[in-house]
Amino acid sequence: MNLLIGAMTIGLILALLALGVFITYRVFDRIDLTAEGSYGLGAAVAGVLLVRGTEPLLATTCGAIAGAGAGVVTGLLRVWLGIPRLLAGIVTSTALYSVILYLMHGGDLSLASRRTLVTIADEIGSRLAGGTGDLVLFGTATSSRNWMGLLLTFAVVAGVALLLNLFLRTNLGLSIRATGNNRLMARAQGINVDQSLVLALAISNGLIGLSGAIFAQFIGFVNISLGNGIIVTGLASLMIGEVLFGQRGVGRSITAAAAGAVVFRLMVAGALHLGLDGNSLKLITAVFVVAAMVIPKAFRNLLQGPPSLDGRRV
Amino acid sequence: MVAVSDPALELHGVRRTFAAGTTNEIRALQGVDLSMQPGEFAIVIGTNGSGKSSLLNAIAGSFPIDRGVIRLEGQDLGALPEHRRARMIGRVFQDPFTGTAADLTVAENLALAARRGRHLSLRPALTAERLAQLRRQIEGLDMGLEDRLDAPMGRLSGGQRQALTLLMATVVRPSLLLLDEHTAALDPQSAELVLQRTQEVIKREGLTTLMVTHSLQQAIRMGDRVLMMHRGQIVQDISGVRKRRLRVDDLLDRFEENRSADLMDAPAAEMVLRNYV
């Protein structure tokens, strides 16, 4: 039971990552490799602050802001210097590798015995459980801190998802979506598309930094390689969510991305539980992404016949 | 003597060359001078590559000009980026997919247009009040689209999307309306409908308008001025009584004049004949 709760909690933490990837990959239709750096940066900034005794909530927020800053850097590289989109993200995340090493004075940082969000969840949990530390649920004893962690993470993700959903329906949010969908139209409607791009990258990487910051506290340490290949995890979550829960409308897409991250994490945990070697984790992640991209297409072909000549369906 | 008010749009010596100094050099605009009165509706004709679209793009700010001045209602547009000019300029493009965002709903597209150039707001874009207003505006098109406010724009036909683009370009009254062959990609019926709506809104709002077209018929029956472009310059400027008496044959004669004055080379003349006759 604790294993399941743990997997779900990690899934919810990665849901924030999936929401970040959703903004660049779906709202903007492009892959932003800044994620590889901003995830680790969020973790490192939060970690360093926690070691110094900063309040966990504040430290976590700073991690998110640092991630957003990384997004702004990528955005400005593109808008001011005209660096191509993939390269801009790679350049930023490469630079961030050194920044993270510098921040942490090395490649590892332990958060053991530091006051973190997990400590807070623990405190609330044991207070509610009346000091025993264990809750009996569905016939098994489970640790109340794990439950509390799951609940609080869920609350954070639900709150972020709701805010994102509302934001994308404001005038500003609409202008960002229009920019991602049709730049010519956006310009003709007086939208500053450069500004939209920088803002979208900031929000996306802010969410990814937040995800990294919370994840580090959950596992109790920060490692320089935390963000390696994280974009693929984000994409896998997003696509699994879209396959399972659809992508019609903004609210639906946001829910799908978040839920996809949880499902993906449960699939990974299941595979590991069945005895799969932990070293092959990234390999399975890659396979999941390919499967999530190919299977829906294959199904559609099966149901509707081959696509028309111009690739569109009527 | 007719009283002349301050011009709405003024161009002086506007030049633009693409890929200058290379073998692919294109002299798109070679010294364009133009002055339009407020509410004037000018049709721009000319062969492919004569600079019609470049003229519109230069005014809208799609690319910077090499030389010259563009003023709209007295304001120098030269220093303004495209999105700032868009606050004053409404545009409808040839491709019906260019002017609208396919993944956004009809209502969301219109809501963007209703706040043209004022998007830095964290208020909900679609309030009940705004929706009611959008519904009224879309009812004015009389195309039955008011029931499809929640449909993604991508589900609509080219004609419907072009009519909505026209509405979006004019819902906040622009100082200048630029129409770039906006019915050329539509089926005849849709084209006719969009042209009708175009004339209605221009007349109702008294919009200063530049409309590029390949159709001499449209040039004859619409607008109150015809500008013929050739090799990046305005070579004919027909207005007033002369415009009202204009017939298709006259325009063909003008094309022929261009050619015989060696302003037009043989392939261009051939293209005119193919396209217009």
User: Using CB atoms, which residue from B83, B113, B115 is nearest to A187?
Assistant: B83
User: Using CB atoms, which residue from B100, B119, B124 is nearest to A175?
Assistant: B119
Tell me how far apart the alpha carbons of residues A48 and A100 are, in angstroms, rounded to a whole number.
10
Q: Which residues from chain B sit within 8 angstroms of residue A177, using beta carbons? A: 101, 103-104, 108
Chain B nearest CA to A114, separation (Å): 38
Q: Which of B62, B77, B80, B83 to mutate to test the interface with A (most CBs of A within 10 A)?
A: B83
Q: Which residues from chain A sit within 8 angstroms of residue B121, using beta carbons? A: 170-172
Tell me how far apart the alpha carbons of residues B196 and B183 are, in angstroms, rounded to a whole number.
11
pTM passes above 0.95 = no
> Please, what sign has the CA dihedral across residues B56, B100, B168, A174?
negative
pLDDT, tens digit, 9 for 90 and up, residues B152-173? 999 999 999 999 999 999 999 9
Chain B nearest CA to A279, separation (Å): 40
Q: How many CB pairs under 8 A join A and B?
A: 90
B12 DSSP β-pair partners: B69
pLDDT of residue A248: 81
A158-162, A295-299, B7-11, B69-73: least confidently modelled range: A295-299
Tell me how far apart the alpha carbons of residues B211 and B69 are, in angstroms, rounded to a whole number.
21
Q: Which of B112, B116, B168 to mutate to test the interface with A (most CBs of A within 10 A)?
A: B112
Tell me how far apart the alpha carbons of residues B150 and B134 are, in angstroms, rounded to a whole number.
12
Chain B nearest CA to A249, separation (Å): 9
Residue position matching structure tokens 């302003």: B263
pLDDT of residue B239: 86
Across A41-57, b (16+ Cβ under 10 Å) vs e yields bbbbbbbbbbeeebebe
B75 DSSP β-pair partners: B72
Residue numbers of A between 160 and 199 with CB closer than 8 Å to B: 166-167, 169-175, 177-178, 181-182, 184-193
Q: Which residues from chain A sit within 8 angstroms of residue B93, using beta carbons? A: 184, 188
Tell me how far apart the alpha carbons of residues A288 and A285 are, in angstroms, rounded to a whole number.
5
Low-confidence stretches of chain A (pLDDT beneath 50): 308-314
- Hey, are the CB atoms on B100 and A182 less than 8 Å from each other? yes
CA of B92: how far to CAs of A136, A174, A242, B208, in Å?
A: 66, 20, 34, 14
Tell me how far apart the alpha carbons of residues A132 and A127 are, in angstroms, rounded to a whole number.
9
Chain B nearest CA to A68, separation (Å): 19
- Does B266 have pLDDT greater than 70? no
Tell me how far apart the alpha carbons of residues B85 and A109 are, in angstroms, rounded to a whole number.
52
A124 touches chain B (CB under 8 A): no
For the record, the structure tokens of A159 come out as 């709150």
Tell me how far apart the alpha carbons of residues B153 and B106 are, in angstroms, rounded to a whole number.
5
CB B210 within 8 A of CB B44: yes
Tell me how far apart the alpha carbons of residues A145 and A133 are, in angstroms, rounded to a whole number.
7
pLDDT of residue A1: 73
Q: Which of B119, B130, B164, B166 to mutate to test the interface with A (most CBs of A within 10 A)?
A: B119
Provide the pairing of β-strand B209-212 with B176-180. Answer: parallel
Q: How far is CA B72 from the centre of its chain?
A: 15
Q: How many CB atoms lie within 10 A of CB A207?
A: 30
For the record, the structure tokens of B161 come out as 């999307």
pLDDT of residue A270: 87
Tell me how far apart the alpha carbons of residues A305 and B16 are, in angstroms, rounded to a whole number.
49
User: Using CB atoms, which residue from B83, B104, B124 is nearest to A177?
Assistant: B104
Starting at the edge strand found earlier in the chain, the sheet holding B225-230 runs B89-92, B176-180, B209-212, B41-46, B225-230, B233-239
- Hey, are the CB atoms on A182 and B119 less than 8 Å from each other? no
Q: Which residues from chain B sit within 8 angstroms of residue A192, using beta carbons? A: 81, 83
- Hey, are the CB atoms on A171 and B98 less than 8 Å from each other? no
- SS3 sequence, chain B? CCCCCCCCEEEEEEEEEECCCCCCCEEEEEEEEEEECCCCEEEEEECCCCCHHHHHHHHHCCCCCCEEEEEECCEECCCCCHHHHCCCEEEECCCCCCCCCCCCEHHHHHHHHHCCCCCCCCCECCCHHHHHHHHHHHHCCCCCHHHHCCCEHHHCCHHHHHHHHHHHHHCCCCCEEEEECCCCCCCHHHHHHHHHHHHHHHHHHCCCEEEECCCHHHHHHCCCEEEEEECCEEEEEEEHHHHHCCCHHHHHHHHHHHHHCCCCCHHHHHHHHHHHC
Q: How many CB atoms lie within 10 A of CB B259?
A: 17
pLDDT of residue B141: 87
Q: Give the percent of chain B with pLDDT over 90.
A: 64
pLDDT of residue A312: 44
Which of B221, B223, B191, B193 minimizes the C-alpha distance to B207?
A: B223
ipTM of the complex: 0.86
Mean pLDDT for B59-73 is 94
- Does B252 have pLDDT greater than 70? yes
Chain A nearest CA to B219, separation (Å): 25
Residue A102's contacts (CB-CB under 8 Å, 6 or more residues apart) are none
- Hey, are the CB atoms on B101 and A177 less than 8 Å from each other? yes
Name the helix (H) or strand (E) containing A115: none
Tell me how far apart the alpha carbons of residues A183 and B192 are, in angstroms, rounded to a whole number.
28
pLDDT of residue A309: 47
For the record, the structure tokens of A275 come out as 């005895």
Chain B residues in contact with chain A using a Cβ-Cβ cutoff of 8 Å? 60, 81-84, 86-87, 91, 93, 97-104, 108-109, 111-113, 115-126, 168-169
Tell me how far apart the alpha carbons of residues B205 and B224 are, in angstroms, rounded to a whole number.
15
Chain A nearest CA to B108, separation (Å): 7
CA of A173: how far to CAs of A191, B125, B273, in Å?
A: 11, 9, 49
Q: Which residues from chain B sit within 8 angstroms of residue A187, using beta carbons? A: 82-83, 86
Chain A nearest CA to B15, separation (Å): 23
A170 DSSP β-pair partners: B124
Provide the pairing of β-strand B41-46 with B225-230. Answer: parallel
Mean pLDDT for B101-117 is 92
CB B39 within 8 A of CB B208: yes
> Please, what sign has the CA dihedral across residues A136, A139, A145, A150?
negative
- Hey, are the CB atoms on B83 and A190 less than 8 Å from each other? yes
User: Using CB atoms, which residue from A170, A174, A185 is nearest to B99?
Assistant: A185
Q: Which of A165, A167, A179, A189 to mutate to test the interface with B (most CBs of B within 10 A)?
A: A189
For the record, the structure tokens of A124 come out as 């609330």
pLDDT of residue B243: 82
φ/ψ (deg, to 5) at B95: -80, 120
Which of B60, B70, B61 minimizes the C-alpha distance to B14?
A: B70
pLDDT of residue B269: 63
pLDDT, tens digit, 9 for 90 and up, residues A202-212? 999 999 999 99
Encoded amino acid at A273, one letter: H
> Nearest-CA residue of chain A relative to B60?
A188
Residue B109's contacts (CB-CB under 8 Å, 6 or more residues apart) are A178, B100, B101, B153, B164, B168
Tell me how far apart the alpha carbons of residues B263 and B231 are, in angstroms, rounded to a whole number.
8
Residue B13's contacts (CB-CB under 8 Å, 6 or more residues apart) are B31, B32, B33, B67, B68, B69
- Hey, are the CB atoms on B104 and A174 less than 8 Å from each other? yes
